[in-house]
C-alpha cells in the first residue's frame, strides 16, 4: 500500500474538486453540478479531438505531459496515509517545491508558445504570482522543518502532532494563502471565469482542447489535493499511520478523507465570502502573507516554539 498511496491523490483529486464546486453552489443559493461532474468532464475531454494552433511548437504539445508527470512525481514523495514510503528518502520539501516549479514553468511556457495575447497575459501573471508565493511557502514550511530537525516531509509529519505554538499558527496562516494562490482561487484568481481581465490559470490553458486540456485540468486537480495533503502533513498530521499495518492504514485513510472534506469546506467558504482582488493589489496580499511566514520563523527562533 505504501507504494501506491500517491494514487489516492491521482484518483480522488477530481472528487475533491467536485465537493468544492458543489459546496460553493449551495452556499451561493444554486443547485450546482454533481460531485462526480469533474470525472465526467475529464472523460468527455479525453474523447474529444484536439485543435492545435499552427504557430505552436513542440513545447505546446509536450507541456501537458510534463505538467501532469511532474505533479504525479510530487505526489509520490508526499506521505498521504502513512509515513512509511519507499520514496520517502526523496521527500524533501525543497525538492517538492522545485518539482512543482518545473510544471509551472512549462505551463507558463505553453501559454506563451500558443502565440495568443491571453496566453501571454496569463503566463506573465502566473510568474509574477509564483515569485511572491514560493518564498512564502518555503518559509512557512521551514518553521515546522526546524522544529522537526529535518526537511523531509515524512519526518516532519512524525514529529508534529498538531499546531501547538504561535509560530506554527503564523506559518499555517501564510501557507493557507499560498495554497489559495497556487490553486488559482479567490481572492487571487477566479477559477470559474474566462474574462481576460481576471484569469490567470485559465489564460494559460485557453488554447488547449481535447486530451491535452484533460491532462492540464487533471494536473490542476492533483496539485490542489497535493497542497491540501502537504498542509495536513505538516500542520495536522494527527491520525497518519506510522506503519503499514492494515488496520492502521484503513483508519488513517478515513481520517485523511475527513481532513480533505474539511479543507474543501474551508476553500468553498473562502470563495463564497470573499471577492477577487485586483491584480495590482496582489503584491500587498501576498506580501502580507510573506511577512507572516517570516514572523513565524523568527518567532520560533526567538521563542523556541
**What pTM, to 2 d.p., does this model score?**
0.90
> Residue 51: how many CA atoms within 13 Å on its side-chain side?
4
Tally of CB atoms within 10 A around 247: 9
Distance CA 40, CA 305 (A): 47
Query: Which pLDDT does position 12 carry in this prediction?
Result: 93
* Phi and psi, residue 289, nearest 5°: -65, -35
Dump strand ranges (E) for 24-114: none
How high is the pLDDT of residue 214?
93
Tell me the domain boundaries of the chain: 6-303
**pLDDT tens figures, 240-289:** 877 777 777 888 889 999 999 999 999 999 888 887 888 788 888 888 88
Residue range 26-48, pLDDT digits in tens: 988 888 888 999 999 999 999 99
DSSP letter (8 states) at residue 171: H
Length in residues, the chain? 305
Phi-psi map region of 193: left, alpha, beta (phi>0 left; psi -120 to 50 alpha): beta
Q: Which residues of the chain have pLDDT under 50?
A: none
Amino acid at each position: 500500500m505504501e507504494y501506491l498511496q500517491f494514487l489516492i491523490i491521482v484518483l480522488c483529486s477530481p472528487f475533491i474538486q467536485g465537493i468544492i464546486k458543489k459546496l460553493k453552489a449551495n452556499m451561493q443559493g444554486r443547485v450546482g453540478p454533481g460531485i462526480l461532474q469533474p470525472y465526467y468532464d475529464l472523460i468527455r475531454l479525453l474523447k474529444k479531438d484536439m485543435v492545435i494552433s499552427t504557430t505552436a511548437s513542440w513545447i505546446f504539445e509536450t507541456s501537458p505531459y510534463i505538467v501532469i508527470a511532474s505533479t504525479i512525481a510530487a505526489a509520490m514523495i508526499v506521505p498521504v496515509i502513512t509515513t512509511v514510503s519507499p520514496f520517502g528518502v526523496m521527500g524533501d520539501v525543497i525538492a517538492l517545491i522545485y518539482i512543482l516549479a518545473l510544471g509551472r514553468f512549462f505551463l507558463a511556457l505553453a501559454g506563451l508558445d500558443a502565440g495568443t495575447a491571453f496566453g501571454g497575459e496569463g503566463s506573465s501573471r502566473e510568474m509574477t504570482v509564483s515569485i511572491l508565493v514560493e518564498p512564502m511557502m518555503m518559509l512557512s514550511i521551514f518553521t515546522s522543518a526546524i522544529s522537526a530537525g529535518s526537511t523531509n516531509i515524512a519526518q516532519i509529519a512524525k514529529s508534529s502532532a498538531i499546531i501547538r505554538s504561535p509560530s506554527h499558527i503564523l506559518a499555517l496562516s501564510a501557507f493557507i494563502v499560498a495554497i489559495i494562490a497556487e490553486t488559482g482561487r479567490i481572492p487571487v484568481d477566479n477559477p470559474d471565469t474566462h474574462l481576460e481581465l481576471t484569469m490567470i490559470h485559465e489564460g494559460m490553458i485557453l488554447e488547449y482542447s481535447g486530451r491535452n486540456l484533460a491532462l492540464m485540468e487533471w494536473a490542476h486537480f492533483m496539485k490542489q489535493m497535493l497542497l491540501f495533503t502537504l498542509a495536513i502533513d505538516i500542520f495536522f498530521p494527527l491520525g497518519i499511520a506510522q506503519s503499514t499495518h492494515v488496520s492502521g492504514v484503513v483508519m488513517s485513510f478515513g481520517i485523511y478523507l475527513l481532513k480533505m472534506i474539511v479543507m474543501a469546506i474551508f476553500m468553498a467558504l473562502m470563495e463564497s465570502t470573499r471577492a477577487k482582488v485586483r491584480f495590482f493589489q496582489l503584491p500587498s496580499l501576498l506580501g502580507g502573507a510573506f511577512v507572516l511566514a517570516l514572523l513565524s520563523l523568527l518567532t520560533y527562533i526567538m521563542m523556541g516554539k
